[in-house]
Structure 1
Amino acid sequence: MMWIGYVLGQIASFFLTCFRIIPLWIANRVSRTGIPADGDVIISLTTHGRRLTKVYLTLESIARGYVKAPIVLWLDEPDFNSEYPDTLKRLIKRGLQVRCSDGRYGPHTKYWGQFRELAGTSKRVATIDDDMIYPEWFLQNLLFIGDLRSDVVIAYRAHRIELRDGKMLSYAKWTAADTCQASYLHFATGVSGVLYPPGFIEYVVSQGDIFMQLTPRADDVWLHACALRSQHPIRQVYSQPRHFAVIPSTQVGALVVGNTLMGGNDEQIRKVYTEEDLQLLLESSRVED
């Protein structure tokens, strides 16, 4: 009987998501609302291949937000030079900025080019995923906290790194963060959106692209290690993580399959975190306990 309830829940979620998509589909065709060209916070994302045909839904969900901000879509060279779908062309006319990445950085593309462009300035970056529908208050709530604290990375969804016998447990055994207190033990997951302060951006850029050797397919791992080392704890917006609607059929081949279900994150975690990093996490655990 449990599987019946699960199936019914998935069906209900699918139709609810479809109802969320309809206004975005309409907005893409009729809206004349412009997207700002500049601001003190930039929204950055990437997409690739067939996802180019659906990313407009994510973009429209951000463009309708209560707080407006520039939106930059980073593409690898083949996609940048391809013929864009009409849905994307309409957004470009309204102010969407499309930039070409100078390398194939995989999931790191959504922040790397933007970080390098803004390092040394007072601007912040909010990263989003290309397969989500974000609520109107998405950026407003991130900025509310960010305006109060410039020393933290702010995320709608975070895991808590679990430790035992002086070691990190496997990624699959980490638990959902259940507090909005900032902590080095919190691990921001980019899917629901993350806001990065200027000091953090500058630190990440100073480390160069060594992430391509250590964590080529796990941007969240690299960014958490950088947060730990630069003394930027992670703060969840709410005490419980928020999960936003997923655009149907965009999860095929998603990184979550390899990184979470097949242990890819654990392999990359072992390459990134040093003994010094582990000691910092253990000290944080002792302080918080």
Structure 2
Amino acid sequence: MWIGYVAGQAVSFFFTLFRMLPLAFNNRFSRTRIPTEGDVVISLTSHGDRLSRVHFTLESIARGHVKAPVILWLDKPDYEREWPASLRRLVSRGLQVRCSDGDYGPHTKYWGQFREFTGTGKRVATVDDDMIYPEWFLQRLLFVGDLRDDAVIAYRAHRIELRDGRILPYIKWSAADTCTASYLHFATGVSGVLYPSSFIDHVVSQGDGFMELSPRADDVWLHVCALRSGHPVRQVYASPRHFAVVPTTQGGALVIGNTLMGGNDEQIRRVYTEDDIAKLREASQRED
């Protein structure tokens, strides 16, 4: 069995490298402009050595069927150091790079952008800096978002599992298997998430309490904000979508710490109140 697994991983690795070739070509030779204005923007963050590879993600977004402004948020040390040539080429085509006003960890990918957009009626789609997104990525997010402008829209979501009225450990949650919106659905940012303007307004009104309660788990904080503000999470498709990962970017420290070592569970215990858990129980009873 392990031989088959290794073979499958090798095939996936080389298939991803094949996908990266046109993105590398575009980065060197494309003159296609990235819009600088729009009613929805794509927001992300990156850091350290990952800046030398973030252009693969950015080029995959820039080639999309639907174009939107793209804003890369950096902490001050990364903003002030010399950027790779691959990143500078994207800036010359319209990529906007902003300096975060604090060290917000994984929250950097949305927090500055949400504050800029609050009260404007604009939407924000967040992405991770280590994925290759398909050309239809934004197009389909927006299509579903137009159908449900009261919901958070995600390509990948977990279902929060309860037992005896309590939240089970994160590792025991199941993959969402429906495109029906639910408060029990927990959007994971890796495949991309679209946030409606009313949700953005609510998150900004809560301030930066996430720094104390959930500093390393932005998904946890954003879900509890969705729960409290009446924004269910809707998966684009009935099954989660997983996009290709840029090789060598998955150091995995945050994933391992949050998932396998219980970091998410610790932050969930701090964030979710008894009232929040009661709302989840009510949602579970309605849907069973």
Distance 1:278 1:143 in 2: 30
Distance 1:261 1:90 in 2: 38
Partner of 1:52: 51
Structure 2 length as normaliser, TM-score? 0.99
What displacement does 1:147 show? Answer: 1.1
CA deviations on 1:258-283 (whole Å, 9 max, x unpaired) are 10011100000000000000000000
What displacement does 1:122 show? Answer: 1.0
CA deviations on 1:63-86 (whole Å, 9 max, x unpaired) are 000000000000000000010100
Distance 2:15 2:53 in 1: 17
Q: Which amino acid aligns with 2:90?
A: L
Distance 1:81 1:211 in 2: 26
What displacement does 1:246 show? Answer: 0.3
Partner of 2:32: 33
Distance 1:255 1:57 in 2: 21
Partner of 1:9: 8
Partner of 1:197: 196
Say whether 1:147 aligns with 2:146: yes
Q: Which amino acid aligns with 1:163?
A: L
Q: Secondary structure at the match of 2:31?
A: coil
What displacement does 1:254 show? Answer: 3.7
Give every structure 1 segment of 4 or more consecutive aligned residues whose post-TM-superposition deviation is greater than 3 Å: none
Q: Secondary structure at the match of 2:42?
A: strand
1:171-186 to structure 2, matched below 5 A, reads: 171-186=170-185
Say whether 1:116 aligns with 2:111: no
Distance 2:78 2:42 in 1: 20
Partner of 2:19: 20
What displacement does 1:36 show? Answer: 0.3
Q: Secondary structure at the match of 1:44?
A: strand
Q: Secondary structure at the match of 2:97?
A: strand
Distance 2:269 2:249 in 1: 29
Q: Which amino acid aligns with 2:183?
A: Y
Partner of 1:163: 162
Q: Which amino acid aligns with 2:283?
A: S
What displacement does 1:148 show? Answer: 1.4
Partner of 1:223: 222
Distance 1:144 1:152 in 2: 12
Distance 2:22 2:256 in 1: 30
**RMSD of aligned alpha carbons:** 0.5
Structure 1 length as normaliser, TM-score? 0.99
Matched positions, count: 288
What displacement does 1:9 show? Answer: 0.5
1:249-264 to structure 2, matched below 5 A, reads: 249-264=248-263
Distance 1:89 1:169 in 2: 45
Distance 1:256 1:164 in 2: 25
Distance 2:258 2:120 in 1: 33
What displacement does 1:253 show? Answer: 3.9
Distance 1:224 1:191 in 2: 14
Uncovered stretches (5+) of structure 2, i.e. residues with no partner: none
1:273-284 to structure 2, matched below 5 A, reads: 273-284=272-283
Distance 2:252 2:78 in 1: 18
Q: Which amino acid aligns with 1:230?
A: S
Distance 2:179 2:113 in 1: 27
Distance 1:32 1:102 in 2: 31
What displacement does 1:232 show? Answer: 0.1
Partner of 2:77: 78
1:66-105 to structure 2, matched below 5 A, reads: 66-105=65-104
Distance 2:252 2:212 in 1: 22
Q: Which amino acid aligns with 1:134?
A: Y
Q: Which amino acid aligns with 2:105?
A: G
Distance 1:148 1:283 in 2: 25
Distance 2:148 2:179 in 1: 13
Q: Which amino acid aligns with 1:145?
A: V
